[in-house]
């Protein structure tokens, strides 16, 4: 019997309605996240990955708003039962239920921790505030828990670091502090938006290993947003490939790397530099279209080497299931 997914996104559309035109940042995205797994969401910059994450948490900046779709999230029950499923898309962004979910049951690691922490408050006071907002207990208890969280994520001398400002920490330490804040209320789903982009290779490896270890200990699901296919290969259980606001392919990580179906997925894999290889890099032709000038038909057809005139430029492909766990949006498989 297949269990109900922890998070189920269906036909999500988040648009930015502006004087210059309509930006379809997320345009009909669908995917599932199961308990305890890591879903990697990959694609070029501007394909809607971060807006998808913000839509789930209902923190999309104006004038952006969800215009269509469902975001079903299974909330944990107090007695260990199956829990209650709610549609986050129907909740008020600043309502009591959404505020109870945001930061506690669904946590977010932001892309740049330097701009995510307040520069005038200590990191400890900000983590304490997050704990006291969602959990009972006094300030002293929350401070002790904060120090233990910082120690758990590998922050050196947490008793001292807890009283430091974010600009007194290195990039790696800031990211660890951000992870500590995200884990402070034991979320069932952790959304990590480019968590290692601004870090050096050594620190990046440490942060990814930390996230993997914490997932094993806590059993939480992770939604990992990145443009780095190397990170996806290391961390992900399943992969959703996004292009111009849509999921064009979704499959287990092995299938994505060893049997990719969509021309865009194959192009991404060909563009990865390979150690000890003298073969020339094969960049993806063209560029992501301007948001105000989206192509008709398949959004990838102007850059596709397998483009079929009269079909790809006129009709929109739909997600087609290939096998039990592989879906692709391409006329080659319809």
CATH number at residue 195: 3.40.50.300
Axis-axis angle for helices 123-134, 139-152 (nearest 10): 120
Whether residues 22 and 165 share a domain: the answer is: no
Beta 106-109 vs 319-321: how paired, if at all? unpaired
For residues 120 and 194, state if they share a domain. no
Q: Do 295 and 146 fall within a single domain?
A: no
In this structure, the answer to whether residues 138 and 68 fall within a common structural domain is no
Same domain, 129 and 208: no
* Domain range for 269: 7-105+187-333
Residues 29 and 142 occupy one common structural domain:
no
Give the residue from 301, 267, 304, 263 showing the smallest Cα distance to 282: 267
Which of 160, 186, 212 is the last residue in one of the domains? 186
112-133 CB burial, b ≥16 within 10 A, e <16? ebeebbeeeebbbbbbbbbbbe
- Read off the pLDDT of each residue in 293-306 and give the average, rounded to a whole number: 90
pLDDT for 300: 92
Q: What pTM value is reported for the model?
A: 0.87
- pLDDT given for residue 255 in this prediction: 94
| Same domain (yes/no): 87, 204 | yes
Going by DSSP bridges, is the β-strand pair 106-109/189-193 parallel, antiparallel, or unpaired? parallel
Task: Note whether 83 and 26 are same-domain residues.
Answer: yes
Residues 323 and 225 in one domain: yes
Lookup: tokens for 123: 């990191």
For the chain, the domain total comes to 2
Q: Is the pLDDT of residue 1 over 50?
A: no
Q: How far is 224 from 242, CA to CA, in rounded Å?
A: 13
Q: Determine, yes or no, domain membership for 73.
A: yes
pLDDT digits (tens, 9 = 90+) for 104-150: 899 988 877 667 788 888 988 989 988 888 888 888 998 998 998 88
Q: Rounded mean pLDDT of the chain?
A: 87
Give a yes or no: residue 110 inside a domain: no
Q: How many CA atoms lie within 13 A of 212 on its CB side?
A: 13
Residue 263 counted as domain residue = yes
Residues 148 and 198 placed together within one structural domain of the fold: no
ω before 152 within 30° of 0 (cis)?
Answer: no
Residue 227 lies in a domain: yes
Q: Are residues 61 and 120 in the same domain?
A: no
Answer whether 147's CB lies under 8 Å from 139's CB. Answer: no
What is the mean predicted confidence (pLDDT) over 223-239? 90
- Shared domain for 124 and 92, answered yes or no, is no
Last residue of a domain, one of 164, 186, 208: 186
For residue 192, tell me if it sits in a domain.
yes
Tell me, what's the pLDDT at 250? 95
Residue 2 domain-assigned? no
d(CA 138, CA 217) in angstroms, rounded, equals: 26
The token duo for 91 is 């909740």
Write down which residue in 151, 186, 221 finishes a domain.
186
């Amino acid at each position: 019997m297949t269990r109900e997914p922890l998070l189920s996104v269906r036909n999500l559309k988040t648009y930015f309605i502006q004087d210059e035109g309509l930006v379809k940042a997320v345009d009909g995205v669908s995917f599932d996240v199961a308990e305890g797994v890591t879903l990697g969401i990959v694609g070029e910059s501007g394909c809607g990955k971060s807006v998808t994450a913000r839509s789930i948490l209902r923190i999309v900046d104006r004038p952006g708003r969800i215009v269509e779709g469902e975001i079903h999230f299974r909330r944990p029950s107090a007695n260990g039962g199956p829990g209650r499923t709610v549609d986050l898309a129907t909740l008020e962004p600043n309502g009591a239920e959404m505020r109870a979910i945001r930061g506690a049951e669904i946590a977010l690691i932001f892309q740049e921790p330097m701009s995510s922490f307040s520069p005038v408050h200590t990191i400890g006071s900000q983590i304490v505030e997050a704990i006291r907002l969602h959990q009972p207990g006094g300030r002293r208890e929350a401070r002790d828990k904060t120090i233990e969280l910082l120690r758990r994520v590998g922050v050196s001398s947490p008793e001292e670091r807890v009283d430091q400002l974010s600009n007194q920490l290195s990039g790696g330490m800031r990211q660890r502090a951000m992870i500590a804040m995200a884990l402070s209320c034991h979320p069932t789903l952790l959304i990590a938006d480019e968590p290692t982009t601004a870090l050096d290779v050594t620190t990046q490896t440490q942060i990814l290993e930390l996230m993997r270890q914490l997932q094993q200990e806590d059993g939480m699901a992770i939604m990992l947003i990145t443009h780095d296919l190397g990170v996806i290969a290391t961390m992900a259980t399943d992969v959703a490939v996004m292009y111009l606001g849509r999921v064009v392919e979704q499959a287990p990580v092995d299938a994505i790397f060893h049997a990719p179906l969509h021309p865009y997925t194959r192009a991404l894999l060909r563009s990865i530099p390979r150690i000890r290889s003298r073969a020339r890099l094969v960049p993806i032709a063209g560029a992501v279209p301007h948001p105000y000038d989206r192509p008709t038909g398949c959004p990838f057809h102007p850059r596709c080497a397998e483009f079929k005139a009269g079909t790809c430029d006129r009709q929109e492909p739909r997600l087609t299931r290939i096998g039990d766990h592989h879906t692709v949006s391409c006329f080659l498989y319809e």
